[in-house]
Structure 1
Amino acid sequence: MNTALEILKKYWNHHSFREPQDKIINAVLENKNTIVLLPTGGGKSICFQIPALVKDGICIVVSPLIALMQDQVDSLNNKGIKAFTIASGTSQDDLITLFDNIRFGNYKFLYLSPERLQSPFIQEKIKQLDINLIAVDEAHCISEWGHDFRPSYRNIKILKELKPTTPVIALTATATKEVIDDIANSLEIKDAIVFKKSFYRDNLAYQIFSLEDKLGRLLQICTKTKAPIIVYVSSRNKTKEIASFLNANHFKASFYHGGLSAANKQEAFDNWISEKTPIIVATNAFGMGIDKDNVKVVIHLELPNSIENYIQEAGRAGRNGKKAFSAVLVNKNDIRIYKERLENAFPTIAEIKHIYKSIFSHFQIANGEINEEVFEFNLLKFSDKYKIPANKVATTINLLEANGILQISDSYDKKSTVQFLTSSNRVLNYSKSDSNTTKLIQLLLRSYGGIFEQETKINEFWLAKKAHLLSRQVVTILTKLETEELITYKKATENAELYFLVPREDDKTINSISKNIQKYIKQKIRKATDLVAFIENDAVCRSIQVLKYFNEKEFNKCGICDVCLANKNVYQDVSKEIMAYLSSNKTATSKEICEQISSKEDIILVNLQQLLSEEKISINNFNQYHLNE
């Protein structure tokens, strides 16, 4: 049996654990229940993946996000570790085959959504498996006090009933003491050891800038920063708009949001990772699986959803331990718009009932009927057809999914699938006359484990890059192989997949979850109120505000946030830098000088005034500064 450190070296190519990963792994290997609170970038997945690989049997991982589950499954499979997740709408016959493969195929990980655990059939199949560990990812979802409460997470404790002696590890990046206590109670692991790493980041400066010209400040920050940047915005259209603005100003930027095709999403991510486009403008869909340690600045052009979201997103900067910045740019209208958007985002119970009925009408499902098909669903077309605001439809669907009424998988979460129907030799013999086909088949065989046993998720764009082909060539080859009945190839569509989990009962269904919905909305409003208070509080060190929010007891002023810097009120002499710049450029406006010199704008302006008073520089009729002769 390999030790935890040997497995870390073999599959992750690391030679030591980060604190406190080794302590967590040892506790799990001793069959102790654990609750793990590690901030973003703390390496939570390794804390359950490595002990599961050390022990005999299979680890069940419960996660709320289909995309996150698939990313982790793909990552494990690419390492040669057998992992699997069950797609929406899989029939019972297919499930029987899948569980037989899992049981007898040396699989190590089974990823499930909490909704899947409601199925008595799946519960029965889990009983037959040798489960070595139960891992609950994003465990804050179990608590109504968390920032992303999902009532379906309350049902996870069924796993403890099915496997009472199997240890449980619950993991989250952001949780208050209320949430941690709620996790322990809900999962019935009150004996759990809690591992908690401080949220204090001595190299990360939280800075809130109140200003009217946000785009001007964005350009200044991008000019001064010679390292990768993430810019967060609140809408898909804004990602493209801001990326275009940056490119028009001679920066290299790409954009990323949930509605992109798999190929475009992968291209944007790869270009940013490789620093072909070192700036990426994104919605909060950009976050899962990011492991880039040299991000220098995370900029929020619009307010995040909560303090928890903000800390996760800001925490993607400075993972290499070097000085990094989180810059939130706000103006007078932002908070007003934020509050208005919050009020308009949540539908009433009556509106939710109307939307729920309309979805059934859209798919022509009768009252009392449960249809186990997978339906293709286009949110914008549905909203237009029934004259319902798209944001309210989206919120309603999220609420219905969180309460176990339906399940939805957006197209950007989906990938095409391939399964070989014959031996590799036969396929390779078939392809001998075409080098591109041979190259692609060999790449598929090397890259995807289990491709003969089941439908395996692939990424045509990634395959094309690796095989030095065009994406359309990959699709053409795979389509031809399917025509010859050598493989099955299911190409991803652009619509979402919607799957109903309960029979149609209209008002009765919504009435049964109305209390959960009202709690959820109340909690969202409270989280938003806490965030606004954080943004507006310019009297207390930002780090202290964050640490108090997460119930930490020990804290000192960080000395690097906007509040601490303002309170220092120390004059910084940058006159030499200003004069050197003017010496090279002859004339420049204050804005141009601020873009080039690495200091705060107000400090630069004070220095300019001092140089003017000393008659070392002058200003012309065009508000340009220049050196005096």
Structure 2
Amino acid sequence: MKSPLEILKIYWGHTTFRTPQKEIIDTVLKGEDALVLLPTSGGKSICYQVPALAMGGICIVISPLIALIQDQVNSLKEKNIKAIALTSQLSQDEIVIAFDNLQFGGIQFLYLSPEKLQSKFIQDKIKQLQVSLIAIDEAHCISEWGHDFRPSYLQLNILKELQPNATFIALTATATQQVLEDIQLHLELNDAQVFKKSFKRSNLSYHVLKTEDVYGKLKQLLHRAKDAVIVYTNNRKQTQEVSQFLNRNGFKSSFYHGGLSLSEKNEAYLNWMQDKTPIMVATNAFGMGIDKPNVRVVIHINTPNSLENYIQEAGRAGRDNKKSHAVLITNDALLHETITKFKSNIPTVKFIKKIYFNLNQFYNIALGELPLESFNFSLQKFCSIYQLNLLQTYNAIKILEQENILLLDENYSKKSSFKFIVSNQQLFNYLDNYPSKNEFIQLILRSYGGVFEHFTIINEYVLSKKLKCSKNEIIKNLKELHEQGIIKYSFADTTSKLNFMVVREDAYTINRISKNIEKRNNLKYEKLKAVINFIQNKQTCRTIQLLTYFNETCKEQCGTCDVCISKNKTKVSLKSISEEILKTLQNQTLSSSELAAILNFTEEEILNSLKILLEQNKITITSQNKFKLAI
């Protein structure tokens, strides 16, 4: 049997382990369970991949994201290590062949999602395997106190029954003490060795920048960036809008979110990895498993939902241990909007009762009835019929799923996309020959911009409402245009499968879980408030604030965050700043953000000085909201 160090050298080309990887691997090789908390970029995968190769037998890896699973499998295959993933794309026959290969074909790693493990068929097959190690990745998903709770993780202790002699290792990058205790409890890791590495990143500086001109500040930061950048937003539409804005302003960027097709995601990812488009504008769907060493800046232009999310996303900067920055751009209006959106989208007990009642009415389920069949479910159609907020309704259904009242096999996140692949003139010629398509194509052109330049997400249901026809008619028209070579159309079926898991009892059903709902809502709000407190706290070093949240004691200030810099900065008088502004405005007009980019003062200092200069009539404002010297 090869030693862990030999395995590391052969497959990874390294000759040393990071701290505390060697200690974790030694523990696993002794057959002892381990609970590992390593920050983003801490090298968690090696902690189970290396001992699995040294132990022999099969390593089962539970992971929550198909994209992350595929990345891991591809990475192992590139090292000539046999690995397989059980995804929804495999048929029953292909799954049978996969398990035959696991038993007789020398495959060493089996990756699957926690949902896939719920299959009795797959459980029976796993029972027949020679399993030496079981790795639970993103283990924080098992805890309701975690930032990404998934009910399916609560069923993972079935693996203890299926493979009682296997060693367990649970891994996460973000967990408070409460979450760590939950992981040990639910996975039955009674005697596990716990390994925690500090969240402190001495090469990473945290900055919270307050500005009214978010896009202007973003441009300013990107002009200074020398290597790869990630810009995080909170919604899919904004990723595309910001990317287009940056490209119009001379930057090279791609965008990435969960609604893109696989080919679109791969193209954006490869362009970024190869530095063809060094700026990636993304939702938090982008990041897990991403290991690009030269990310120099991570920028958030919206308020993160939790400090767990924030530290994980920010931690994707500086993986090469070189000086890097995590920047959060904000203002009072954005913070107010964040709280307002949270309150409007969080499902109350009363709202969940309404959703549950409407779902039963929608499918004509009688009181006291438990239907055994699965129902086709379109979230958009359901919300349209009952005039419901889409996101709030989705959140309510997810809570009903967490409480085992419903089971949603969802395609909701999938989005269709299209792009015109003919010129304007060719399109005019086509309409001359097919005038019946004129109204439909005009609607598309009015509804979506940039459709000749890039792929655009299209909502067939919304178009059907505008044309007062069925969604199927819209899909048929789009497919015809695709077949005729006018557009490239990627259809995504958003119809989900919905199962009712309990007898219909209306209000009584929800009353039984009302305390759980309120507890979960309060927890989410507390997490959001922790983020806002972090943003608004200008007295305590950013690193100390983050470490304190994760139960780490730290008294040493980083000296590089915006709070530390402002404390160490020599106080400059408004008179001196005003004099610098007047000098800079000689023979030119500039906006406040342009002045902030030129002068070495904060935007707040510049705005205060501009107010004084305006009151003194030394400067005036142009119609373009720029400042110039008064005549």
TM range (shorter): 0.7 to 0.9
Distance in 1, matches of 2:393 and 2:79, equals 39
Amino acid at match of 1:495: D
Distance in 2, matches of 1:497 and 1:289, equals 29
The 8 Å contact of residues 365 and 504 in structure 2, kept in 1 or not, is answered as no
Pairing 1:540–2:578 present: no
Match of 2:519 in 1: 519
Amino acid at match of 1:285: A
Cα deviation, residue 586, structure 1: 8.3
The 8 Å contact of residues 261 and 411 in structure 1, kept in 2 or not, is answered as no
The 8 Å contact of residues 253 and 277 in structure 1, kept in 2 or not, is answered as yes
Match of 1:451 in 2: none
Amino acid at match of 1:131: V
Match of 1:87 in 2: 87
Match of 1:21 in 2: 21
Deviations 1:198-219, CA, capped at 9 Å, x for gaps: 1111121111122212222111
Cα deviation, residue 545, structure 1: 0.7
Q: Aligned ranges for residues 574-585 of structure 1 at < 5 Å?
A: none
Match of 2:370 in 1: 368
Change in Cα spacing, 1:603 to 1:143, as seen in structure 2 (3 Å) is: closer
Match of 1:279 in 2: 279
Match of 2:61 in 1: 61
Match of 2:151 in 1: 151
Amino acid at match of 2:370: G
Match of 2:212 in 1: 212
Amino acid at match of 1:329: I
Deviations 1:534-582, CA, capped at 9 Å, x for gaps: 1111111111111111111234111111111111133699x9xx99xx9
| Secondary structure, aligned partner of 1:132 | strand
| Secondary structure, aligned partner of 2:329 | strand
Match of 1:474 in 2: none
Change in Cα spacing, 1:604 to 1:333, as seen in structure 2 (3 Å) is: closer
Match of 1:494 in 2: 492
Distance in 2, matches of 1:54 and 1:339, equals 50
Match of 1:335 in 2: 335
RMSD over equivalenced CA pairs, Å: 3.8
Deviations 1:377-411, CA, capped at 9 Å, x for gaps: 65444433443221023323443554564354558
Match of 1:270 in 2: 270
Distance in 1, matches of 2:560 and 2:116, equals 46
| Secondary structure, aligned partner of 2:519 | helix
Distance in 2, matches of 1:295 and 1:216, equals 21
The 8 Å contact of residues 593 and 603 in structure 2, kept in 1 or not, is answered as no
Distance in 1, matches of 2:93 and 2:371, equals 21
Match of 1:31 in 2: 31
Cα deviation, residue 169, structure 1: 0.5
Amino acid at match of 2:492: E
Match of 1:429 in 2: none
Change in Cα spacing, 1:92 to 1:269, as seen in structure 2 (3 Å) is: closer
Deviations 1:574-606, CA, capped at 9 Å, x for gaps: x9xx99xx99x9867475464357x55469969
Distance in 1, matches of 2:356 and 2:76, equals 37
Change in Cα spacing, 1:45 to 1:505, as seen in structure 2 (3 Å) is: farther
Which of 159-168 and 79-88 deviates more? 79-88
Pairing 1:316–2:316 present: yes
Deviations 1:416-449, CA, capped at 9 Å, x for gaps: xxxxxxxxxxxxxxxxxxxxxxxxxxxxxxxxxx
Cα deviation, residue 51, structure 1: 1.4
| Secondary structure, aligned partner of 2:540 | coil
Cα deviation, residue 116, structure 1: 3.6
Distance in 1, matches of 2:117 and 2:516, equals 19
Match of 2:47 in 1: 47
Distance in 2, matches of 1:363 and 1:307, equals 40
Deviations 1:233-281, CA, capped at 9 Å, x for gaps: 1111111111122222222222111111112211221222222222221
Cα deviation, residue 96, structure 1: 4.6
Match of 1:255 in 2: 255
The 8 Å contact of residues 132 and 165 in structure 2, kept in 1 or not, is answered as no
The 8 Å contact of residues 370 and 504 in structure 1, kept in 2 or not, is answered as no
Match of 2:73 in 1: 73
Match of 1:160 in 2: 160
The 8 Å contact of residues 211 and 603 in structure 2, kept in 1 or not, is answered as no
Cα deviation, residue 496, structure 1: 4.5
Distance in 1, matches of 2:149 and 2:511, equals 19
Distance in 2, matches of 1:515 and 1:127, equals 38
Cα deviation, residue 81, structure 1: 2.9
Distance in 2, matches of 1:68 and 1:372, equals 29
Distance in 2, matches of 1:35 and 1:621, equals 60
Cα deviation, residue 172, structure 1: 0.5
Distance in 2, matches of 1:246 and 1:529, equals 31
Match of 2:172 in 1: 172
Q: Aligned ranges for residues 346-357 of structure 1 at < 5 Å?
A: 346-352=346-352, 354-355=354-355
| Secondary structure, aligned partner of 2:160 | helix
Match of 2:569 in 1: 569
Distance in 1, matches of 2:67 and 2:364, equals 29
Match of 1:476 in 2: none
Distance in 2, matches of 1:183 and 1:3, equals 30
Cα deviation, residue 332, structure 1: 1.3
Q: Aligned ranges for residues 292-303 of structure 1 at < 5 Å?
A: 292-303=292-303
The 8 Å contact of residues 379 and 412 in structure 2, kept in 1 or not, is answered as no
Which of 69-78 and 223-232 deviates more? 69-78
Question: What is the TM-score with the length of structure 2 in the denominator?
Answer: 0.75
Change in Cα spacing, 1:412 to 1:72, as seen in structure 2 (3 Å) is: farther
Change in Cα spacing, 1:93 to 1:274, as seen in structure 2 (3 Å) is: closer
Question: What is the TM-score with the length of structure 1 in the denominator?
Answer: 0.75
| Secondary structure, aligned partner of 1:296 | strand
Deviations 1:325-375, CA, capped at 9 Å, x for gaps: 1111111112211111111112234544554576678789995343469x6
Match of 1:595 in 2: 597
Which structure has more RCO (C-alpha within 8 Å, separation ≥ 6)?
A: 1
* Percent of pairs with identical residues: 48
Amino acid at match of 1:321: N
| Secondary structure, aligned partner of 2:295 | coil
Cα deviation, residue 71, structure 1: 3.1
Change in Cα spacing, 1:605 to 1:333, as seen in structure 2 (3 Å) is: closer
Which of 151-160 and 23-32 deviates more? 151-160
Cα deviation, residue 89, structure 1: 9.1
| Secondary structure, aligned partner of 1:255 | strand
Distance in 1, matches of 2:515 and 2:88, equals 27
Amino acid at match of 1:25: I
The 8 Å contact of residues 259 and 413 in structure 2, kept in 1 or not, is answered as yes
| Secondary structure, aligned partner of 1:299 | strand
The 8 Å contact of residues 219 and 595 in structure 1, kept in 2 or not, is answered as no
The 8 Å contact of residues 204 and 317 in structure 1, kept in 2 or not, is answered as yes
Match of 1:231 in 2: 231
Distance in 2, matches of 1:322 and 1:186, equals 38
| Secondary structure, aligned partner of 2:157 | helix
The 8 Å contact of residues 348 and 518 in structure 2, kept in 1 or not, is answered as no
Deviations 1:22-54, CA, capped at 9 Å, x for gaps: 221121111111111111111111211221122
Cα deviation, residue 515, structure 1: 4.9
Match of 1:406 in 2: 407
Change in Cα spacing, 1:394 to 1:67, as seen in structure 2 (3 Å) is: farther
Which of 388-397 and 131-140 deviates more? 388-397
